[in-house]
Amino acid sequence: MSDDTAQRNRPDAAVPRHIAIVMDGNGRWARSRFMPRQAGHRAGVDSVRQVVETAGHLGVEALTLFAFSSENWSRPNDEVSVLMDLMLRTLQKESARLHQNNVRIRLIGERSHLSERLRLEIAEAERLTEHNTGLTLVVAVSFGGRWDMLQAARRFAQDVREGVRDPDDLDEALFSGYLSLDGLPDPDLLIRTGGEQRISNFLLWHLAYAELHFVDTLWPDFGAEELKAAVASFAGRERRFGLTSEQVERLSRA
């Protein structure tokens, strides 16, 4: 990797520009309280609220939340319905407040798999908040990192077929522009709650240089303090992007 990559990514930044979160552990949180899994998902929405607010206060530019993966469609039908319904109701309830707080809402994922009602609500929230300049809140729904790379490759191939692009021009920057997070910096920090230590087909392209922060805390127990602790842990890390420590030090003094 070049000096350029390190420079662009501000290796000395104390606050991540972009945080991505795998929100895991709702089911276990509910089970430990002898409650149905959906109670865990509902409690998870409170954590989403706290984390969005705190990320905004910390000056984070973008927050990407993995709300529903391509693979989650294989869960029992009633759980899928509960999650879709929760997403719809949360959007209806929270969009106006997020807009007041200058948050820009964006959805990434396979929209064609979502109900028309949910698609309309998403489009409305995106339209309402599109000119906001504060935190960009990206919600990944029916999303998978492999799906994202495939849809990007398909669209690029289409542009080649139409003569808009030349395959020889394809480089990282150009390919990134076809991916769902186009226009946002790569996540600097990935947080996963719930004790598992894996990426689970999340942002496969974009997490190339992310710092990873795994915690046992179940998602409904994750709030402002846990997010601040994750950011503090990030601030203590040396990000090298393939360079040596000495090179990174020189860059941060420049």
Footprint on this chain of ligand FPP (rule: CB under 6 A) = 23-28, 41, 44-45, 48, 65, 67, 72, 83, 86-87, 90, 139, 194, 219
108 is in an annotated binding site: no
127 is in an annotated binding site: no
Closer Cβ to ligand FPP, 47 or 234, answer by number: 47
205 is in an annotated binding site: no
236 is in an annotated binding site: no
Closer Cβ to ligand FPP, 6 or 107, answer by number: 107
Catalytic residue selected from 72, 101, 132, 201: 72
- Residue 220 CA to residue 249 CA, distance in Å, equals 39
Closest approach of ligand FPP to the CB of residue 40, in Å: 6
Closest approach of ligand FPP to the CB of residue 91, in Å: 7
43 half-sphere exposure, CB direction, 13 A CA radius: 21
Q: How far does the chain reach from its first CA to its final CA, in angstroms?
A: 19
24 carries an active-site annotation: yes
Catalytic residue selected from 24, 148, 186, 188: 24
Closest approach of ligand FPP to the CB of residue 23, in Å: 5
Binding-site residue positions? 24-29, 37, 41, 69-71, 73, 75, 192, 198-200, 211
User: Residues forming the annotated binding site for substrate?
Assistant: 25-29, 37, 41, 69-71, 73, 75, 192, 198-200
Active site residues: 24, 72
